[in-house]
Amino acid sequence: MSVRLDGKRVGDEIRGEIAAEVARGTAAGHRPPGLAVILVGDDPASRVYVGSKGRAAAEAGFAEMTVKLAGDSSAAEVAATIARLNREEAVDGILVQLPLPGGLPERELVLGIDPDKDVDGLHPMNAGRLWSDEAGFVPCTPAGIVELLERYSVPLAGSRAVIVGRSRLVGKPMAALLLRENCTVTLCHSRTRDLAGECRRADILVGAIGRPAFFGPEHVREGAVVVDVGINRVEDRELAERIFAGQPRKMRAFEKNGSALVGDVDYARVEPLAAAITPVPGGVGPLTVAMLLANTLLSWQRREGLA
């Protein structure tokens, strides 16, 4: 029986700590931390993410502002919004919800965010700071994973960590952070030879590729800690039947909703092997939001002279 790494519980704990810091600061006469989220267009998934970030910010006592721009906004219009928020004194963190509608130059727009308000940690300046061991903002998902592992006392120093996926948002910063924690890090991707063999060497396996239930028992050494970053919506019945074989409750929920959220890890088959494992949902996801608040809190503390 493995330990279930409960991201919901840890996320709530972190958010409670942040709310207490905010209450202390505002009681001392400081303005609340300000988080601005820019949503361009009306992609349903993005709307849900922006909504949950906004609610979490408000619950922690932040001044939260969602700036909605039309889906056919020009790059210049989005850039002007970013520039205005860069100048606004009461805004400590700016986040552009990705993906942007087709045609908008994502990287160029992210470059326009003041690196000291870039609470998503996506600006190249913050990526450089991370790899140079300088203070900056770390992307929220990998930062949350380290926080989760630490709060469950998973030994990091000297451990062999294998990360699969090398995106700017997850895989690469995850590698930098685990290296900082003195893990021995291997970063795998779609061109890795003998991926299963590489994964089986891991004390800590982080799967972040966006393929439903891809990682099976052949990828996991007995006693490994498994972190599942993937969030995949499965709508295909045949695939659902394969993933949920022997789990009638899950299959019934799939039938009822017409879809299911599944991680990159084949949870039912991997869980018996793992020492500890994150579920999907309720694993890494809630930590991503908590760390967005943590980054904004940090920015506020620096800008208000509280750090």
Query: Of the listed pieces 72-80, 197-205, 251-259, 283-291, which binds ligand NDP according to CB under 6 A?
Result: 283-291
When asked if residue 281 is in the footprint of ligand NDP (CB under 6 A), the reply is no
Residue 190, classed as helix, strand or coil, is coil
When asked if residue 278 is in the footprint of ligand NDP (CB under 6 A), the reply is no
Cβ distance to ligand NDP smaller for residue 81 or 141? 141
Residue among 210, 216, 217, 282 that touches ligand NDP (CB under 6 A): 210
Cβ distance to ligand NDP smaller for residue 104 or 231? 231
Cβ distance to ligand NDP smaller for residue 123 or 303? 123
Q: What is the contact mask toward ligand NDP in residues 168 to 187, using x (rule: CB under 6 A)?
A: -xxx----------------
Residue type present at position 108: E
Using CA atoms, how far apart are residues 299 and 26, in angstroms rounded to an integer? 15
Nearest to 204 by CA among 160, 241, 261: 160
When asked if residue 232 is in the footprint of ligand NDP (CB under 6 A), the reply is yes
- DSSP characters for 58-126? HHTT-EEEEEEE-TT--HHHHHHHHHHHHH-TT--EEEE-SSPPTTS-HHHHHHTS-GGG-TT--SHHH
The least CB distance from residue 30 to ligand NDP, in Å, is 30
The least CB distance from residue 295 to ligand NDP, in Å, is 14
When asked if residue 41 is in the footprint of ligand NDP (CB under 6 A), the reply is no
When asked if residue 121 is in the footprint of ligand NDP (CB under 6 A), the reply is no
Cβ distance to ligand NDP smaller for residue 32 or 263? 263
Residues 130-149 that bind ligand NDP (CB under 6 A): 141
When asked if residue 294 is in the footprint of ligand NDP (CB under 6 A), the reply is no
CA angle 205, 207, 208 (to 5 degrees): 145
97 a catalytic residue: yes
In Å, how far from its chain's centre is CA 161? 18
When asked if residue 97 is in the footprint of ligand NDP (CB under 6 A), the reply is no
Helix ranges restricted to H, 152-222: 171-180, 195-200
Using CA atoms, how far apart are residues 273 and 90, in angstroms rounded to an integer? 49
Cβ–Cβ < 8 Å for 224, 203? yes
Q: Tell me the pairing of strands 160-164 and 204-207.
A: parallel
120 a catalytic residue: yes
The active-site residue out of 6, 92, 118, 120 is 120
When asked if residue 208 is in the footprint of ligand NDP (CB under 6 A), the reply is yes
Cβ distance to ligand NDP smaller for residue 79 or 175? 175
The active-site residue out of 6, 53, 118, 264 is 53
Cis peptide before 99 (omega within 30 of 0): yes
Cis peptide before 281 (omega within 30 of 0): yes
Cβ distance to ligand NDP smaller for residue 109 or 170? 170
Cβ–Cβ < 8 Å for 182, 161? no
The least CB distance from residue 250 to ligand NDP, in Å, is 19
Q: Which residues are known catalytic residues?
A: 53, 97, 120
Task: Provide the binding-site residues for ligand NDP, judged by CB under 6 A.
Answer: 141, 164-167, 169-171, 189-191, 195, 208-211, 229-232, 284-285, 288
